[in-house]
Amino acid sequence: MVQLVWFKRDLRSADHRPLAEAAACGPVIPLYVVEPEYWTQPDTSRRQYVATASALAELSARLEWLGAPLIIRIGTMVEWLGRINRAIGLTRILAHEETGNAWTFARDRAVRRFCREAGIALVEYPQFGVVRGLRDRDEWGRLSQAILRAPPLPEPSGLIAATRAPAGEIPSPEQLGLAEDLCHQPQPGTRQSALALLDSFFAGRGAHYRRAMSNPLAGADACSRLSVPLSTGAISIREALAICYGARNGQSAVPRTAIESLISRLHWHCHFIQKLESEPRIEHRSVHPAHERARMVTVDNDPRLLAWATGQSGYPFADACMRSLIATGWLNFRMRAMVTSFAVHHLGLDWRACGLHLARLFTDYEPGIHWPQVQMQSGQTGINTPRIYNPVKQGLDQDPSGAFTRRWMPELAEVPLALLQTPWLAGSGHAAPIIDPGQAIRDARARLAQLRAEPGYRAASEVVFYRHGSRSRRLENDHPQRDRAIRAEKAAIARRQFTLGF
């Protein structure tokens, strides 16, 4: 029996069920195909590939030590499966499920079709607390916890290689045609870095996690920073949670409240990925049909988009956040929410255009988290309270010393702290921002109010909640004792309106 383990965004050898299952059955071919077409997609970037390549190199060395070198090829997955099958005959392929962008969804469908036609068994396993084919969000918590609470699988003690084919080399960014960007040292996506981050977090780095996470300067150090190795799959979410549980129950230099907050964030990771898994069109269409109908498409050369994207809007704190993201590939959660809200609500830009730009800038880009978050922070869902962040107020609140703003806005070095977030008030030499924040906020609220007043808006929101809402909260005015059957019936009625809304 010839088994192939298909590695995707799961670049590790521990807590890897496809690898463990294959190792228990006999010889194995570990395969990773670098897919150039994927790296030409509008949401991918060089910085993401550099992080992926670091994890790939680490995994390659580890699998070689275990006895079965990682076979690395360049091309399409279907092409290479066909070649391998013709050469030695494949019996089954083992892989993790992937909740990715539209391109990876299409790629996975093509692989399934190839396997059916070739008579090869394709066995896929959940990687996160994400449930494929979920019919009822009410059941997600129980099913997800069953996955996440299971103990992580150990690394195989050894592997038997099923082929002597050359391992192949990891292509450089230049070989893939990936242009240089301004993030020259993106955070690595390796397992070694993930374990070091967890060690330092529990050794004291995360002591002020709850207070510092909202501050872009302090948060860069106090946050776990696990998002990049989680996005490459160098460490599993289950392993990270197990380490957190151990720290919570043992000795740690970090307060229990900080550990609980990190555990909560790790669970939210799966909550958001489940949204895209259940409704892949979230990447392209507003969750709520009324917002989809009201969308204004933004062209790439829109001066407001260019000003926002390059940190030239005239609002120091928002611009500092964007410049920091461009240079480092990372930004704390609250500031990610602010720059998205600012772009859509204040500048009137389309969430899809802004989301694509941010996706390319995030080294830790995880489609299942990114697109639901972009929709939520830009007010597209109909079930979340719209957050319209004032960039001036956020600067005063989250950067009271001005250190972060001055670091990324050196042209404001001489502006007094009292005017740092409103330098245009300091006199000549500082241009006014591209929009007036007060008027922009009023206009945004008026647009949202008009949408929410549309007939059927509330009913469609019920459907969105039925499909995607956290069961720890309810829609405003929902009675806490509402019978589930009544809610289901109401959702079914609303679902028909929701479908017609498109």
Instruction: List, in order, residues 6 or more apart from 268 with CB less than 8 Å away.
Output: none
pLDDT of residue 127: 94
pLDDT of residue 487: 52
Cβ(109)–Cβ(280) below 8 Å: no
Token pair, residue 471, equals: 């069961």
Q: 28, 25, 11, 32: which is closest to 67 by C-alpha?
A: 28
Cβ(200)–Cβ(309) below 8 Å: no
pLDDT of residue 472: 64
The torsion angles phi and psi of 31, rounded to 5 degrees, stand at -130, 135
pLDDT of residue 328: 97
Report angle CA 211, 213, 219 to the nearest 5 degrees.
Answer: 115
pLDDT of residue 437: 81
* Contacts of 197-206 spanning 24+ positions with Cβ under 8 A: 197/224, 197/225, 197/226, 197/229, 198/224, 198/226, 198/240, 198/243, 198/244, 201/254, 201/262, 202/243, 202/247, 202/252, 202/253, 202/254, 202/259, 203/253, 204/253, 204/254, 206/254, 206/258, 206/259, 206/262
Cα–Cα distance measured from residue 271 to residue 366, given in angstroms and rounded to the nearest whole number: 13
Instruction: List, in order, residues 6 or more apart from 134 with CB less than 8 Å away.
Output: 140, 143, 274, 277, 278
pLDDT of residue 467: 86
The helix (H) or strand (E) run that includes residue 93 is strand 92-96
Cβ(315)–Cβ(391) below 8 Å: yes
Does the pTM surpass 0.75? The reply is yes
Hey, what amino acid is at 236?
S
Token pair, residue 9, equals: 């965004």
pLDDT of residue 297: 82
Q: 338, 348, 324, 346: which is closest to 374 by C-alpha?
A: 338
Hey, what amino acid is at 159?
L
SS (H, E, C) 272-306: HHHHHHHCHHHHCCCCCHHHHHCCCCCCCCCHHHH
The torsion angles phi and psi of 127, rounded to 5 degrees, stand at -100, -35
pLDDT of residue 479: 39
pLDDT of residue 136: 77
The helix (H) or strand (E) run that includes residue 352 is helix 351-361
Q: 70, 49, 50: which is closest to 61 by C-alpha?
A: 70
pLDDT of residue 497: 40
Q: 272, 276, 274, 399: which is closest to 335 by C-alpha?
A: 399
Q: In b/e form, how buried is each residue of 187-206, taking b as 16+ CB within 10 angstroms?
A: bbbbbebbbebbeebbeebb
Q: 489, 486, 490, 501: which is closest to 455 by C-alpha?
A: 501
* C-alpha to C-alpha distances, 48 to 55, 86, 100, 296, 324, nearest whole angstrom: 11, 33, 14, 29, 16
Query: What's the order of all strands across the beta sheet hosting 28-34?
Result: 71-74, 28-34, 3-6, 92-96, 121-125
Collapsing DSSP to helix, strand or coil, 74 comes out as: strand
Please list the alpha-helical segments (H only) found in 126-170. 140-148
pLDDT tens digits in sequence order for the chain, 502 residues long: 889 999 999 999 999 999 999 999 999 999 999 999 999 999 999 999 999 999 999 999 999 999 999 999 999 999 999 999 999 999 999 999 999 999 999 999 999 999 999 999 999 999 999 999 987 788 899 999 999 999 999 999 999 999 999 999 999 999 999 999 999 889 999 999 999 999 999 999 999 999 999 999 999 999 999 999 999 999 999 999 999 999 999 888 999 999 999 999 999 999 999 999 999 999 999 999 888 888 888 888 899 999 999 999 999 999 999 999 999 999 999 999 999 999 999 999 999 999 999 999 999 999 999 999 999 999 988 888 888 999 999 999 999 999 999 999 999 999 999 999 999 998 777 888 999 888 988 998 998 888 888 888 988 889 888 888 887 644 334 434 434 543 554 455 444 443 333 2
pLDDT of residue 132: 95
Instruction: List, in order, residues 6 or more apart from 378 with CB less than 8 Å away.
Output: 340, 341, 343, 344, 345, 351, 354
Hey, what amino acid is at 249?
N
